[in-house]
Homo-oligomer: A and B are copies of this chain.
Amino acid sequence: MSIDRNNEIEVKNEVERQFNILSRGCDEIINENEFKKKLEKSISTNTPLRVKLGIDPTGSELHLGHAVPLRKLKQFQDLGHEVLFLIGTFTGRIGDPTGKSETRKMLSEEQVNENIKTYLDQVKLILDLDKIKVVYNADWLEKLSLSDALNLLSQFTVSQMISREDFSKRLSENKPVSLIEFMYPILQGYDSVELKADVELGATEQKFNLLRGRDLQKNFGQEQQVCMIMPILVGLDGVEKMSKSLGNYIGVKDTPNDMFGKVMSISDELMENYYTMITDVPFEKIEEIKAQIADGSLHPMEAKKQLGAEVVKIYYGEEAAKEARDWFESVFSKRNLDVDLPEVEVPYGEINVIDLLVKEAKLLGGTSEARRLISQGGFKINDEPIKDIKANVNVESGMIIRAGKKKIVKVK
């Protein structure tokens, strides 16, 4: 779209348009006024905003929780702004304990390099790598001296650092907080100085660190960055944060059938949140779906299938979305097992049914849930229900395990 940069009203409208697109799904923008001013300056001078997202090369499998800020970056990119994708090659070796209860291990340089490869390989499913600027903070942080470090340290007080929630929590529980951990938010802030960032994205748990960028930019005489704080995506269980270790995630590299099936496993209550956070469905459309479910003109199951298709569409396109839906309907709705099923690796041999469901196949989150499901006949081996919670089964290759209506896997 071409804007007449000298026409105040056109500029103002464009600011509003971009602001509405970009603020979608944000928890907080610090602050909105500054953001609008930056957008206005960017539009009226035709200078793209420099939008920073930093990640640690910890080598995790990307899931839709990670995709939330990445998709926000894509919106910036589509609006013509400059995306600075910062890989913490230096800070990643420190490890930030944000939101975790223990000091993280330092990563070796080889690990870091390997992780970056894996990471970008997944990022390109969302962002066009050729259009973004990938930067590595070791490029400038490795050049800093002890004196530089002291200069940075001198700009912050102990009380300020301790105020970060996870630090104060660990200190109050007498758990160790290493001094090196104080450097993480400071160096993250310094990255913003180095990059002259206009905007930095991060999840709510990153808010403290994002604000340190504003502190340092101010002290270094720069315009302060706008902090765009994204909510943390809830996992499939609807309770915990989506994470690989909890198993409640949809990976960006999951197959279309897996993506679709996992979306189908969420509760009806979680649907609206997922529609907002992980799809591009416009707000008005989401409101319409809600209204239709409320007046009974749309079955929740149908709304969820549409959600599943929207998600698959983002990563694999329309055709794949349709195929995944067909697959799901044939397996779950039409009870046809003669299809490709998601595979799990489970040690062969005798195992108690609860252990199989919870510990090995990881289809359920806990023992009590497993007990309930088994007693109600929702647990089946090769389509045969087993209702005895003390029963053992003999796991072998090709065995089909079903837990309830929406989860089915085949032993590899």
Contacts and interface: CB of A to CB of B under 8 A. Distances in A.
Interface of A: 94, 106, 141-142, 144-150, 153-154, 156-159, 161-162, 167, 171, 174, 176-180, 182-183, 186
A142 B154 CA distance: 17
Contact of A145 (B146, B150, B156, B183): B146
A178 B157 contact: yes
Given A145-B145, A146-B148, A159 B176 contact: yes
Nearest to A149: B149
A145 B182 CA distance: 17
A144 B161 CA distance: 24
A158 B146 contact: no
Contacts of A150: 94, 149, 180, 183
B153 A158 contact: no
B179 A154 contact: yes
B171 A154 contact: no
B154 A177 contact: no
Nearest to A162: B158
Contacts of A148: 146
18 contacts: A141-B146, A142-B145, A144-B145, A145-B146, A146-B146, A150-B180, A153-B178, A154-B179, A154-B180, A158-B158, A158-B167, A158-B171, A158-B176, A158-B177, A158-B179, A159-B174, A159-B176, A179-B186
Q: Tell me how many chains of this kind the complex includes.
A: 2
A58 to B, nearest CB: 17
A178 B149 CA distance: 13
A172 to B, nearest CB: 11
A93 to B, nearest CB: 8
Contact of A183 (B142, B153, B156, B174): B153
A56 B380 CA distance: 76
A147 B148 CA distance: 11
B177 A153 contact: no
A244 B105 CA distance: 48
A176 B157 contact: yes
Contacts of A178: 153-154, 156-158
Contacts of A146: 141-142, 144-146, 148-149
A121 B171 CA distance: 47
A147 to B, nearest CB: 7
Nearest to A148: B146
A159 B182 contact: no
A144 B150 CA distance: 11
**Residue among A142, A146, A148, A159 with max Cβ neighbours from chain B (10 Å):** A146
B180 A153 contact: yes
B144 A158 contact: no
B157 A177 contact: yes
A180 B146 CA distance: 11
A97 to B, nearest CB: 12
Contacts of A186: 179
A395 to B, nearest CB: 44
Contacts of A167: 158
A153 B178 CA distance: 7
A209 to B, nearest CB: 15
Nearest to A150: B180
A380 to B, nearest CB: 52
Most buried by B among A153, A159, A162: A153
B145 A157 contact: no
A249 B144 CA distance: 43
A96 to B, nearest CB: 13
Top 6 nearest A-B pairs by Cβ distance?
A144-B146, A154-B180, A153-B179, A149-B149, A153-B180, A158-B177
A161 B162 CA distance: 13
Q: Which of A94, A142, A178 has the most CB of B within 10 A?
A: A178
A364 B222 CA distance: 53
Given A146-B146, A157-B176, 20 more contacts: A94-B150, A142-B145, A142-B146, A145-B146, A149-B149, A150-B180, A153-B179, A153-B182, A153-B183, A157-B179, A158-B158, A158-B162, A158-B167, A158-B171, A158-B177, A158-B182, A159-B171, A159-B177, A179-B182, A179-B186
